[in-house]
Amino acid sequence: MISNQHIKLSKSLQDDCFNFCNTRRISISDLLFGTLQILLHRYSGQKDIFIGFLNDSIPLNETGQNLDSIQWIKSNSFSSISFENSIQNNSSNILDSKTELSDPLETLLESLQPKTETSGSAYYKVYFNFSNDQKINSKDLTNCLGSIPNPYLNFKFIEVNGIIQGLAQCNVDLWDSKSFERMGLHFLELLKNGINNPQEMISRLSILTPAEFEQLTKLWNQTQSKYSNTLCAHQIFESVVEKRPDAIAAIWENKELTYKDLNIQSNQLAGYLKDKGVGPNKLVGICVEKSFDMVVGILAILKAGGAFVPMDSSYPSDRLEYIFKETNSPILLTQKKLLEKLPFQAETTICLDEPDKNLSQYSNTNLNVAGVPKDLAYVIFTSGSTGQPKGILLRHDGLCNLIQASNNLFKVHSESKILQFSSFGFDVAVWEIFTALLSGGALVFSGKKSLFSILELPKIINEKKITLAMLPPSLLSILPNPGFPSLETIVAVGERCTNENVDRWSKGQNFFNGYGPAEGHVTVTACLTNDSKMFRPLGPTIGRALSNVKVFILDTELQPVPIGVPGELHLGGVCVANGYLNRPELTQEKFVTNPFDKNSTTPLYKTGDLAKYLPNGEIEFLGRADNQIKIRGFRVELGEIESTMNAQPNIARSVVILRSNTNQNKVLTTYFVPTNETHISEEKLRKVLEKKLPEFMIPQAFVRLEKFPLSPNGKIDRDALPDPSKTDLSKNIEKRAPTWLKDFLNR
């Protein structure tokens, strides 16, 4: 079915078009064609744009193809070029194409070396047609625009006696009618802005109508809401203690800790830390297993004015040492049972599981420490593409806003019981801890072994009467659902949520799909997905921005992209981190000036995530623009694994990808080429990686190759890497279930 949309140029715009063309000695056809190419470039981000230029005298056949009637025109002049120069370059391309394109279409396709389809429609799905037949009566222009059989996308223009009429056509099976309507408006907006600003770079010209620009940058970002922006996180906790001193703050195995006792213990430790020099923005490492020690240590660091650096005790010793040295902290909070694993020495090491008589000398009342919400609250380390983890600097105001906004959305209350599920080194753990402690609810710990057992977790939820759980979709996909009477809310976090997740878990409790990078304080958008009507091909949307969070979907030049057009998701507002610890160049690259608020001192964070706005204002997550992936909620830079592999003397080069196995489970697979013919033991490689990387980053499959498959431009063709399970390379593959999976599936 074909949809037609008239493109109406106003009288003033038509006059401007003729003036533009006359002064540059180009045709109206050249201007309109070049504008279409620029628009398609802005929509797609592609540098090479191919358009079929139709010959009016020879009609297309029923499939919309006729080699004799189409001249194929390519443009790749979109890099740092003005509108005027782009139009003039395209004019030259059109002339060259008319004189040189005598080769059949098959020759063109052969030179392009297509990997899949080889039909014309696979590569030239956009057509342009222009006619200036002066015999046509201007009153009959609309009827003369005609129709192209079965077009993918067609733009047809007629110019008669100074009057320009346009018609855009699309296949409604491939294009949403509203999106197509907006595309026609964007064509006119780009044409107008280009003619009025011919020297402006095409990347800077707006293609949005003023109303759209206002909607995307302002109306959909009106998220202002009051929050405790004069208090730090520990001060809000202290106010909760005053109201609920005898309420249970934390539950660990069969033990309970009240808010009053938690406050006393953390106050005494805070006094000791203050005497040791901890103050505003001072970093303090804390490496403990899940227990009361975790919350006592975190609160003590904050009360002393410092910022805590969570260090997962399950990490390899080398990684823990790197993180601690990056913080340059003279103090480490840990547990006696972990000392043997820590290969480094701090000036002051405090074992929280060993009673210290010195602490009893300190006051159990709240400290009076100078601190403001703009101070650092914590530094979370995530995987880094350079081969080493990077620390993210996060403030109190962002943390407090996160907790207040999410607690309002998820209806957390003083009787809530929040499951502490996530790894201590994972940013969601911060969310779990403070969601409970700043609301007056109870934080429920559980031993790691039972927590990761697929059968034990449902028991814990029911026995402890958990009301709120934040869980990765990969776990929800295989977790039994016997029914949870106490459970009020599940928040899927850390990975792409599926329609199957929604279908399984939206009955009996509220089910939210949350999204957010650590650089934005864990969660920045969320969507309540309690209905199959929310299903979309890529899974449920990630919803809208939380309070005081701003979301922009932009192209590479920080220009807003239209509704329905993919772009990179950028974050603004109080949620944005201060940057990266000791990484000024990376901070400058990822945290950029906000072009939509000249008075803002808060930058925009470039997430690297691709997304698009839907017409209702919700956001659909599309994937990554780079090689970063998510595994069970953990953020993994494949480059970090590759760098560790490539550092080995017998490895010439390696590539790591995430692929699905026969059971559709995601499996990290490493492909490597050795430096010589010497046999390399996969067992040895695995042990080397285990000393450097967390367990969730260890590949489960190792594949030795003689050489890597290459694409025509000489780069490694990742799509052509062999599937380990379907080749004779299986003898070189070692596929093992890591410890976390064995525990997780333990029955």
**Could you give the CA distance from residue 374 to residue 278 in angstroms, rounded to a whole number?**
17
Question: Residues near 53 by Cβ (< 8 Å), separated by ≥ 6?
Answer: 33, 70, 71, 72, 73, 94, 97, 127, 128, 129
Tokens of 124: 């030239």
Distances (CA, A) of 102 to 74, 123, 128, 219: 15, 18, 19, 52
The percentage of residues in the chain with a pLDDT greater than 70, rounded to a whole number, is: 82
Q: What would the mean pLDDT of 100-110 be, rounded to a whole number?
A: 42
Q: What is the pLDDT of residues 723-745, one digit of tens each?
A: 876 544 334 333 444 443 344 33
pLDDT above 90 (res 91): no
- pLDDT over 60 at 449, yes or no: no
- Kindly give, in sequence order, each residue whose CB lies less than 8 Å from that of residue 676, ignoring residues fewer than 6 positions away: 650
Q: What confidence score (pLDDT) does residue 354 get?
A: 86
Choice among 103-107, 686-690, 696-700 with the minimum mean pLDDT: 103-107
User: Tokens in use for 646?
Assistant: 């490539």
Is pLDDT at 551 greater than 50 in this prediction? Answer: yes
CA distance 747 to 744: 9
| 674-687 pLDDT, tens digit each | 887 667 777 888 88
Q: What is the pTM of this model?
A: 0.84
Average pLDDT over residues 486-499: 92
pLDDT given for residue 597 in this prediction: 85
Candidates 194, 185, 210; CA nearest to 6 is 185
Report whether pLDDT(84) > 50. yes
Cα dihedral sign, 406-412-413-419:
negative
**Mean pLDDT of the region 221-241:** 95
What does the pLDDT average to over 387-394? 92
The rounded distance, in Å, linking the Cα atoms of 740 and 747 is 13
- Alpha carbon distance 21, 158 (integer Å): 16
